[in-house]
A and B are shown apart, each in its own frame.
Chain A
């Protein structure tokens, strides 16, 4: 405990960790041909061996090959059902692929590799020989530690019809996962997974310089900053983008996007150029898009650390492009519909979520394939926090006929428990830390990457207090930005900042497939009857109390009536957490006890001159993971017991009226 306390003190005074040196850079010249929906490109890739081992094999992501045919690993996982189900047969130009036309290699030193001896597709995650999403390149000689190698790659990328965050729709081209991207070399091995149905991305931080040649009538958006533009005189323009210290490069080109710019400025935070590429049908949502970006940059900048890049581009994608709600370094996509009144929080919710990813994915680049919760989970929690700060209260909206938003101002939806129902429905299928393709099903992936970590972090915040929680997350951010932390790094950092060993907490959450439900299962109180039978005599015998605390629960009283009260709190599910139990008596006295929650149940007994009124477990709702809050309290004597409560009568009356209306509407067709 003391060690953690000292560490916490050190952390608050320690200087910011230095930004690590990059060992990779990409220089790409690409040309979009809208007619064939292809991108032809030349790529120069510099890589320095910053490890302590010689490297002879290199692993590249060729993720567009996931769209190559219906036999790729992603398509297998989708049940061979590609996305374009309305088309049968699927048109030729719907498929997408990437072909590496040539690879040349040169090293800086005389001892380094000189040529590629073997290229083959590997499938490290499954035995699908037909998957072409990871390319292994073997060189003639190993590259020694500290050595530098340069790859010259020519490739052609055919974009798929919009699906899974990439592709074309009409004249909108969203170009993601489009170039041969090197995996991450660490601990003597390559981390380079195949493209899966659920997994996202993982790569090293590097510097990008990318020239994009596209038709002149198209608007372009890309990772990084535009540093030059040339008119080629042949109906095309070449746009040069540049960005240091990012781990991916994505771009978009379309005649339909309208560029809008604004400057983000906030005291204590660096300014950011906000660029919005907006569709005409969403022009009226411009202000709301920008405000959501501003809220995000301000709140996340203040809570976690400043956004370090000078630009942030937000793309408003066409509704059928399937590229909405996605994050790439310095470029994110929103998603909305043209009729979205403010209470729908569309586009705000998605925008905040994707901008939050700039911190949790963009800067703290955990392995999304192996530990998706570290980016999606923290991002979900951050999204809820920022949304609550900027947009609370959130009002419930029903979509009439699937098209018309109808809001119910009296029904508010708390941001903190947005994902609680999902934990209840799917929290027992898996633990959070699994490869994203290993979860039992789609729901479990969602629950364990998004919903459960969201609720875990809210619970952690309530346990630690907001101040400590934000300090812990900020420390984690500062320590691991531009790096690839793991769950272990997260757990260690939080424990250190909190000044206590939180292993038990993470054992019950991250590493557990149990749900949590505490309940007050018994609460009663009765007057102790007058003595009958044989009096005990002069010598008094004191019975041992059932629970040690019960000794303090007995009060000497001059009053004639003494009541015996009993409360039983039960842990109905597997998750074990310490919980507060509060017992309130009719004379207004309240007793608070802390139960460690280890055994199945605990009993509290009182002999007091007042009747027990109620008992509540976790009265402050710290344990937000508790899947059923309605059994957390018990009134000893429910008002008008035996008869329906006021609440029941009220909602029954309302429901009855709905039912009468339903009957009347049915009478229209009979």
Chain B
């Protein structure tokens, strides 16, 4: 199956799991909303009781902003012109690349931590449902799947954070090298490109890590693996063996996300947002964008699941959507091996644990 086929099948698989998308979206909305009231309170009081209440409707008044920046405490400290236009995408990317999480207000960090925790749960439920219940399932089944895989997904997330930390440590000498090379260079142009190359390297490493961890999650579900370390090793092996396909698929899905963000920017520049209606439209557009992002994320998992199956002979022969054994509740090889089923024993998974 080619990549397009994987995406198409992933899409078909996903269409039975619209609820998963909604749950993922609700998690990001709810987590962010935790800070809504304190933020609004700070913001409202910063406007005073006079003309700035009106003035701020049309544009971000710079005098007001400087005052706000000096006085705001808590979550509102993270407010700035970067909430405008492409800022939400680029500024947050900057936070990631510069490892600027530590500079965020604790309240924001707390909300992010809560999000990550909830997200891991919903993601574990969603990804496992994609595989185990290709035809969809009830919310109760969804939650049960989540409960089953949450521990393993959580350990994978902790491992990811650990890997990120190690990556940062490993790059410290690179930072020092870039700084000293830049300082020694005759023009600022050298430093610029070195610095850009460093950030590009960080981005590639982070995306590579994310790619492998995606497959590790899939392996955990597909092969019912209990050891996350071995799952990561297996995923890395899989990506290595199917390098072009795996990265190609990943990049294809990343492109979808970029196009989706581009669409949002187009709408954002067109939409007027200085009336009640305009603001409502803006909010709805933003939330549709986030919903779409969640759909794309699950589409990614769906497509990657198909990709793993298409590259694994054992899965290739018994795709449940083609009416293979298991009929809807597709068991993992390990689970199937353990069950007293009369069918032929499965081929060994590609890497024996």
Structural contact, B187 and A279, CB atoms closer than 8 A? yes
Chain B neighbourhood of A648, CB < 8 A: 40, 43-44, 47
B56 on interface, CB distance cutoff 8 Å = yes
Structural contact, B94 and A616, CB atoms closer than 8 A? no
Please report which residues of chain B, range 46-80, place their CB below 8 angstroms from some CB of chain A when the two chains form the complex: 46-57, 59-60, 62-67, 70, 78-80
Chain A neighbourhood of B39, CB < 8 A: 652, 655
Main secondary structure of the interface of A (DSSP, over half): mixed
Query: Given A396-B81, A669-B160, is A660 in contact with B32 using a C-beta cutoff of 8 Å?
Result: yes
B147 on interface, CB distance cutoff 8 Å = no
Structural contact, B90 and A630, CB atoms closer than 8 A? no
Chain A neighbourhood of B180, CB < 8 A: 86
B317 on interface, CB distance cutoff 8 Å = no
Q: Given the complex of chains A and B, what is the CA–CA distance between A632 and B79 in angstroms?
A: 23
CB < 8 Å neighbour of B116 from A614, A644, A666: A666
Please report which residues of chain B, range 103-135, place their CB below 8 angstroms from some CB of chain A when the two chains form the complex: 104, 108, 111-112, 115-116, 119-120
Structural contact, A408 and B92, CB atoms closer than 8 A? no
Stretch at the interface among A155-163, A420-428, A533-541: A420-428
Chain B neighbourhood of A319, CB < 8 A: 187-188
Query: Given A616-B50, A657-B83, is A651 in contact with B192 using a C-beta cutoff of 8 Å?
Result: no
B82 on interface, CB distance cutoff 8 Å = yes
Structural contact, B86 and A406, CB atoms closer than 8 A? yes
Stretch at the interface among B14-22, B226-234, B274-282, B329-337: B274-282
Query: Given A338-B187, A403-B196, A665-B93, is A655 in contact with B79 using a C-beta cutoff of 8 Å?
Result: yes
Distance to closest chain A CB from B20 (angstroms): 15
CB < 8 Å neighbour of B90 from A338, A406, A652, A668: A406
Query: Given A662-B112, A663-B112, is A647 in contact with B186 using a C-beta cutoff of 8 Å?
Result: no
Q: Which of B164, B183, B187 lies at the interface centre, i.e. has the most chain A CB atoms within 10 A of its CB?
A: B187
CB < 8 Å neighbour of A403 from B43, B53, B192, B206: B192
B338 on interface, CB distance cutoff 8 Å = no
Main secondary structure of the interface of B (DSSP, over half): helix
CB < 8 Å neighbour of A410 from B60, B93, B186: B60
B189 on interface, CB distance cutoff 8 Å = yes
B161 on interface, CB distance cutoff 8 Å = yes
Query: Given A630-B52, A659-B111, A669-B210, is A408 in contact with B84 using a C-beta cutoff of 8 Å?
Result: yes
Query: Given A401-B195, A669-B96, is A646 in contact with B276 using a C-beta cutoff of 8 Å?
Result: yes
Q: Given the complex of chains A and B, what is the CA–CA distance between A635 and B48 in angstroms?
A: 10
Chain A neighbourhood of B101, CB < 8 A: 666
A414 on interface, CB distance cutoff 8 Å = yes
Closest to B209 in A: A669
Chain B neighbourhood of A633, CB < 8 A: 48-52
A442 on interface, CB distance cutoff 8 Å = no
Please report which residues of chain A, range 285-334, place their CB below 8 angstroms from some CB of chain B when the two chains form the complex: 318-320
Structural contact, A635 and B50, CB atoms closer than 8 A? yes
Closest to B60 in A: A411
Please report which residues of chain B, range 1-45, place their CB below 8 angstroms from some CB of chain A when the two chains form the complex: 28-29, 31-33, 35-36, 39-40, 43-44
A233 on interface, CB distance cutoff 8 Å = no
Q: Given the complex of chains A and B, what is the CA–CA distance between A400 and B97 in angstroms?
A: 10
Closest to A281 in B: B187
Flag B333-347 by CB within 8 Å of A: 1 or 0 each: 000000000000000
Flag A391-434 by CB within 8 Å of B: 1 or 0 each: 00000101011110010101111100100110011000000000
Please report which residues of chain A, range 630-670, place their CB below 8 angstroms from some CB of chain B when the two chains form the complex: 630-635, 638-639, 644-670
CB < 8 Å neighbour of A401 from B53, B70, B97, B187: B97
A520 on interface, CB distance cutoff 8 Å = yes
A10 on interface, CB distance cutoff 8 Å = no
Q: Given the complex of chains A and B, what is the CA–CA distance between A523 and B50 in angstroms?
A: 10
Residue count of chain B within 8 Å CB distance of chain A: 92
A170 on interface, CB distance cutoff 8 Å = yes
Q: Given the complex of chains A and B, what is the CA–CA distance between A652 and B66 in angstroms?
A: 17
Structural contact, A654 and B83, CB atoms closer than 8 A? yes
Closest to B99 in A: A669
Query: Given A661-B89, A669-B164, is A644 in contact with B44 using a C-beta cutoff of 8 Å?
Result: yes
Structural contact, B66 and A647, CB atoms closer than 8 A? no
Q: Which of B84, B86, B276 lies at the interface centre, i.e. has the most chain A CB atoms within 10 A of its CB?
A: B84
Q: Given the complex of chains A and B, what is the CA–CA distance between A142 and B85 in angstroms?
A: 73
B286 on interface, CB distance cutoff 8 Å = yes
Chain B neighbourhood of A341, CB < 8 A: none
CB < 8 Å neighbour of B279 from A421, A639, A646: A646
Structural contact, A668 and B210, CB atoms closer than 8 A? yes
CB < 8 Å neighbour of A663 from B66, B70, B115: B115
Structural contact, B53 and A638, CB atoms closer than 8 A? yes
Structural contact, A647 and B161, CB atoms closer than 8 A? no
Structural contact, B36 and A630, CB atoms closer than 8 A? no
Q: Given the complex of chains A and B, what is the CA–CA distance between A523 and B120 in angstroms?
A: 52
Closest to B198 in A: A401
Chain B neighbourhood of A279, CB < 8 A: 187
Distance to closest chain B CB from A499 (angstroms): 32
Chain A neighbourhood of B89, CB < 8 A: 661
Chain B neighbourhood of A441, CB < 8 A: none
A629 on interface, CB distance cutoff 8 Å = yes
B290 on interface, CB distance cutoff 8 Å = yes
Chain A neighbourhood of B57, CB < 8 A: 645-647, 650
B283 on interface, CB distance cutoff 8 Å = yes
Distance to closest chain B CB from A485 (angstroms): 33
B260 on interface, CB distance cutoff 8 Å = no
Chain B neighbourhood of A645, CB < 8 A: 44, 47, 53, 56-57
Distance to closest chain A CB from B319 (angstroms): 29
Chain A neighbourhood of B31, CB < 8 A: 663
Please report which residues of chain A, range 617-633, place their CB below 8 angstroms from some CB of chain B when the two chains form the complex: 628-633
Chain B neighbourhood of A670, CB < 8 A: 116, 120, 157-158, 160-161, 164
Q: Given the complex of chains A and B, what is the CA–CA distance between A279 and B186 in angstroms?
A: 11
Please report which residues of chain B, range 169-200, place their CB below 8 angstroms from some CB of chain A when the two chains form the complex: 180, 183, 186-189, 192, 195-196, 199
B293 on interface, CB distance cutoff 8 Å = yes
Q: Given the complex of chains A and B, what is the CA–CA distance between A412 and B51 in angstroms?
A: 18
B88 on interface, CB distance cutoff 8 Å = yes
Structural contact, B91 and A658, CB atoms closer than 8 A? yes
A339 on interface, CB distance cutoff 8 Å = yes
B325 on interface, CB distance cutoff 8 Å = no
Q: Given the complex of chains A and B, what is the CA–CA distance between A421 and B276 in angstroms?
A: 32
Chain A neighbourhood of B98, CB < 8 A: 401
Distance to closest chain B CB from A417 (angstroms): 5
Structural contact, A669 and B161, CB atoms closer than 8 A? yes
Structural contact, B187 and A655, CB atoms closer than 8 A? no
A337 on interface, CB distance cutoff 8 Å = yes
B273 on interface, CB distance cutoff 8 Å = yes
Chain B neighbourhood of A425, CB < 8 A: 70
CB < 8 Å neighbour of A339 from B32, B47, B192, B207: B192
Structural contact, A632 and B50, CB atoms closer than 8 A? yes
Q: Given the complex of chains A and B, what is the CA–CA distance between A667 and B276 in angstroms?
A: 32
Structural contact, B96 and A665, CB atoms closer than 8 A? yes
Chain B neighbourhood of A406, CB < 8 A: 86-87, 90
Closest to A665 in B: B92
Q: Given the complex of chains A and B, what is the CA–CA distance between A319 and B84 in angstroms?
A: 31
Structural contact, B108 and A408, CB atoms closer than 8 A? no
Structural contact, A647 and B192, CB atoms closer than 8 A? no
Can you give 20 contacting A-B residue pairs, CB < 8 Å? A318-B186, A398-B80, A398-B81, A401-B196, A411-B84, A629-B67, A630-B50, A630-B64, A633-B49, A634-B50, A644-B44, A649-B40, A651-B60, A656-B36, A657-B286, A662-B108, A664-B92, A667-B119, A668-B207, A668-B210
Given contacts A420-B66, A669-B206, list 15 more A-B pairs with CB under 8 A. A398-B87, A400-B91, A400-B94, A401-B196, A630-B64, A630-B67, A634-B49, A649-B40, A658-B83, A661-B88, A662-B104, A667-B115, A668-B207, A669-B160, A670-B161
The residues of A with any CB-CB pair to B shorter than 8 Å are 86, 170, 256, 279, 281, 318-320, 337-339, 396, 398, 400-403, 406, 408, 410-414, 417, 420-421, 424-425, 520, 523, 614, 616, 628-635, 638-639, 644-670
> Which 9 A-B pairs have CB atoms at the shortest separation, nearest pair first?
A633-B50, A647-B56, A630-B48, A319-B188, A654-B83, A421-B66, A669-B164, A661-B88, A658-B88
